[in-house]
Structure 1
Amino acid sequence: MNTLNDPQTPFAVVDRARTDRNIARLRAHLHASGVPLRLHVKTSKSLDVAARVFPGGPGPVTVSTLAEAGYFADGGYTDVLYAVGIDPHKLPRVLALRRRGVDLAVLLDSVAQADAVAKASADAGDPVPALIEIDCDGHRGGIGADDPILPEIGRRLADGGAELRGVLAHAGESYFADTPAARREAARHERDTVVRAAGHLRRAGLPCPVVSVGSTPTAHAEADLAGVTEVRAGNYVFFDLVMAGIGVCDVDDLALSVVVTVIGHRPDRGWILTDGGWTATSRDRGTATQRIDQGYGLVTTLDGRVLPDLIMSGASQEHGTLALRPGSTGVLPELPVGTRVRILPNHACATAAQHRRYHVIGGGAAAGAPVVEAHWARHDGW
């Protein structure tokens, strides 16, 4: 029987009970809204995790790379949205996946992309479905809901050989919405913006069957999704310190962590050194602008108890530095060389990306350490 004391560190750990609880929470919320989930798999990139979201068999998924699309296609997932603006050079890969029976849709926000998708569709005799990305908050890509170019992009697709499937928005600024009221407003604005865009297309005589919204904060924030046909979310399966920092979840909901080992001490600097640097945890500093800066992650004991005021304060390639958070009046805990601790990450997607599999714990323990009950594979690459 292996426990968290056995594998070589550093390694990623997933708490199955917390993952299942997180999945059940959003499932119940969306069931009440009557809108289905399109799971974003970019966080876990794991068929085992997706199977817990879709216990009855493969459901609709969102991917962030075509490698993910292929991996999930191999696992039986055929309803796939590639939700990164399409690079025309990747269209042959899109068409190859579609020839395998995958209903793979792409995302775009320009006439140039629409023309490329239309041409590739016409040449292949396969109308590639495309969603137009709508910018609801100035966070990243997309066009405005009222931009006059919107119906022109739609026409280029519909008349050029492709399929205009609908519109999509991502409320990226919701990751900074640190009150329930702010998250509800972000969700309502996301909904209203993308529904308005869909209306412009329909009034222009263009089809718009899909109206897609999604981010982990907004997915949990609003029950009135009138006019929306699907919700995308993915981070929620694990959650992270950024989500805890804005109040979407509690620290006790975080299902992903990284086990590291103490390898040294610098008492003159108040440091404890570990063998887990940014190659194990990432260098994401997503909590730096929040009310509580968690450094590179919170530190817990091997059984998951948070060590008061101890954070991962520094990260070089293979070394992690643990220290008391600035301003703390606490005492640095005694953690001898060889002690194992767990790091709760700022950004679950970035931390998971450092690992090829998850060591799954489920509540059992032996010799004072959680038992590893399974290993879940994880995919990577582009």
Structure 2
Amino acid sequence: MVRPVDLPTPSLLLDLPVLCNNLATMGRRMAEHGIALRPHLKTAKSAEVAMLATEGQSGGITVSTVAEALAFAGHGFKDITYAVGIVPGKLEPLAPLLAKGVKITLLTDNAAMARAVTDKAAALGVVFDVMLEIDTGGHRAGVLPDSAELLEVGRILHEGPGTRLAGVLTHAGHSYHCRSRDEIKTVAWAEREGLVHAAERLRAAGLPCPVVSAGSTPTAMCGEDYSGITEMRPGVYMFMDVHQLLLGVCSAQDLALSVLATVIGHNRPADKLLIDAGALALSKDVSANELMADIGYGVVCDAATARPIANLFVTDVSQEHGMCAVTDDTLWDRLPVGSKVRIMPNHACITAACHEAYHVVDHGEVIDKWKRFGGW
């Protein structure tokens, strides 16, 4: 039997029972609301995780890079939404998938790009389904629900020779900056209101809008009314992380992802314990610090039990070093040089992206190794 502590460090650990429980929880929640679940695989980037996440669902998935679309199509996924604004230069590698029976749905919020995409697709001899992105408060991308651009872009996609208007899509990314479940509920309400209003305007103008697609883990977990929405595209719910925990979206036992690290030094004069997981193993994401000061780059946990070690966080990182401020002198003896710890990351998506594979753990035993997709 291989135990997690037997692995080389740093290693990315994925707790299989926790993963499966998270998937089941979201699946049940969406089923109760009558909403199709289209998991966003930008977090996992793994065929094995995707198979589990789509079990019992429609089979549709969401990706955020061309490389992901190609990789998942190669593993038999036939309904893929590429949920990042499209440009004509990215159509050529995707077009051959259509001939293989793969439905690729694209995304835009721009009239000039809509024209360019429909013309490029026609030149390639294909027709793509395209969603119209809506800004429901995140202010990253999308047209406003009440804007003139909504109908302009919708008509271009509907009437163009290389596109079909597939519906509307939004991402309530600003839900990650909330500070309570009540705030998330407010964002979820605004997400639904804006998205459904945009869909209704398109339909009133005689334009098709079969799909009304929302998506963020916080709003999918905390929203109360999803009427008018046809699908959800959450991603980090599969693994959860410290940020979601502090938002109140999940509990500590829902954290499926961690990084195994080795204690490589004791800097007693500086009160720092050093580990071999630095920025390239943990990332430099400090999103959780918005909710809990001084949590740094991750929570340090016992390597065997994954239980947090009181008041021990990765407070600083360089490329290959993690530094943990020591406030309890008993830790020098409890965590000698050469011992191992687990780090629960702030943002699972970014930390997972630092690694090539998951070491899959089931009840204290490493049972498999699942490769991740990289590239763009």
TM-score normalised to structure 1 length: 0.94
Q: How does 1:29-178 map to 2 (within 5 A)?
A: 29-56=29-56, 59-161=59-161, 162-178=163-179
The aligned counterpart of 1:375 is 369
Are the aligned partners of 1:61 and 1:80 in contact in 2 as well (CA < 8 Å)?
Answer: yes
Deviation at 1:375, TM superposition (A): 1.3
1:187 correspondence with 2:181? no
For structure 1, the 5+ residue unaligned runs are 364-369
Are the aligned partners of 2:109 and 2:132 in contact in 1 as well (CA < 8 Å)?
Answer: yes
The aligned counterpart of 1:354 is 354
Secondary structure of the corresponding residue to residue 205 of structure 1: coil
Deviation at 1:84, TM superposition (A): 0.6
Cα 1:330/1:60, change in 2 over 3 Å? farther
For 1:234 and 1:188, locate their aligned partners in 2 and report how far apart those are by CA, in whole Å.
Answer: 19
Are the aligned partners of 2:91 and 2:121 in contact in 1 as well (CA < 8 Å)?
Answer: no
Cα 1:128/1:19, change in 2 over 3 Å? same
For 1:242 and 1:305, locate their aligned partners in 2 and report how far apart those are by CA, in whole Å.
Answer: 17
Deviation at 1:188, TM superposition (A): 1.2
Q: How does 1:278-317 map to 2 (within 5 A)?
A: 278-303=279-304, 304-317=306-319
Are the aligned partners of 2:39 and 2:54 in contact in 1 as well (CA < 8 Å)?
Answer: no
For 1:52 and 1:15, locate their aligned partners in 2 and report how far apart those are by CA, in whole Å.
Answer: 13
Aligned-pair RMSD on alpha carbons? Answer: 1.5
The aligned counterpart of 1:204 is 205
Are the aligned partners of 1:287 and 1:293 in contact in 2 as well (CA < 8 Å)?
Answer: no
The aligned counterpart of 1:249 is 250
**Count of aligned positions:** 373
For 2:227 and 2:311, locate their aligned partners in 1 and report how far apart those are by CA, in whole Å.
Answer: 44
Are the aligned partners of 1:240 and 1:347 in contact in 2 as well (CA < 8 Å)?
Answer: yes
Deviation at 1:16, TM superposition (A): 0.7
CA deviations 1:305-324 (Å, max 9, x no partner) are: 21000001111111111124
Are the aligned partners of 1:183 and 1:221 in contact in 2 as well (CA < 8 Å)?
Answer: yes
For 2:307 and 2:349, locate their aligned partners in 1 and report how far apart those are by CA, in whole Å.
Answer: 23
Are the aligned partners of 1:195 and 1:227 in contact in 2 as well (CA < 8 Å)?
Answer: yes
Are the aligned partners of 2:360 and 2:366 in contact in 1 as well (CA < 8 Å)?
Answer: yes
For 1:44 and 1:333, locate their aligned partners in 2 and report how far apart those are by CA, in whole Å.
Answer: 35
For 2:262 and 2:209, locate their aligned partners in 1 and report how far apart those are by CA, in whole Å.
Answer: 53
CA deviations 1:107-127 (Å, max 9, x no partner) are: 111011101111022223322
The aligned counterpart of 1:366 is none
For 2:301 and 2:139, locate their aligned partners in 1 and report how far apart those are by CA, in whole Å.
Answer: 33
Cα 1:156/1:35, change in 2 over 3 Å? same
For 1:381 and 1:125, locate their aligned partners in 2 and report how far apart those are by CA, in whole Å.
Answer: 27
For 2:19 and 2:250, locate their aligned partners in 1 and report how far apart those are by CA, in whole Å.
Answer: 12
TM-score normalised to structure 2 length: 0.96
Amino acid at match of 2:71: Y
Cα 1:331/1:135, change in 2 over 3 Å? farther
Secondary structure of the corresponding residue to residue 257 of structure 1: strand
For 2:172 and 2:330, locate their aligned partners in 1 and report how far apart those are by CA, in whole Å.
Answer: 41
For structure 2, the 5+ residue unaligned runs are none
Cα 1:56/1:203, change in 2 over 3 Å? closer
CA deviations 1:248-274 (Å, max 9, x no partner) are: 012221100000101111011110111
CA deviations 1:115-152 (Å, max 9, x no partner) are: 11110222233221110110001431111001101111
For 1:50 and 1:75, locate their aligned partners in 2 and report how far apart those are by CA, in whole Å.
Answer: 10
Are the aligned partners of 2:263 and 2:338 in contact in 1 as well (CA < 8 Å)?
Answer: yes
Are the aligned partners of 1:29 and 1:223 in contact in 2 as well (CA < 8 Å)?
Answer: no
Identical residues among aligned pairs (%): 43
Secondary structure of the corresponding residue to residue 40 of structure 1: coil
The aligned counterpart of 2:338 is 338
Secondary structure of the corresponding residue to residue 68 of structure 1: helix
Deviation at 1:172, TM superposition (A): 0.9
Amino acid at match of 2:290: T
Cα 1:58/1:373, change in 2 over 3 Å? farther
Deviation at 1:330, TM superposition (A): 7.7
Amino acid at match of 1:4: P
CA deviations 1:5-54 (Å, max 9, x no partner) are: 32221110001111111111111111110101000000011111112222
Are the aligned partners of 2:37 and 2:58 in contact in 1 as well (CA < 8 Å)?
Answer: no
For 1:112 and 1:293, locate their aligned partners in 2 and report how far apart those are by CA, in whole Å.
Answer: 45
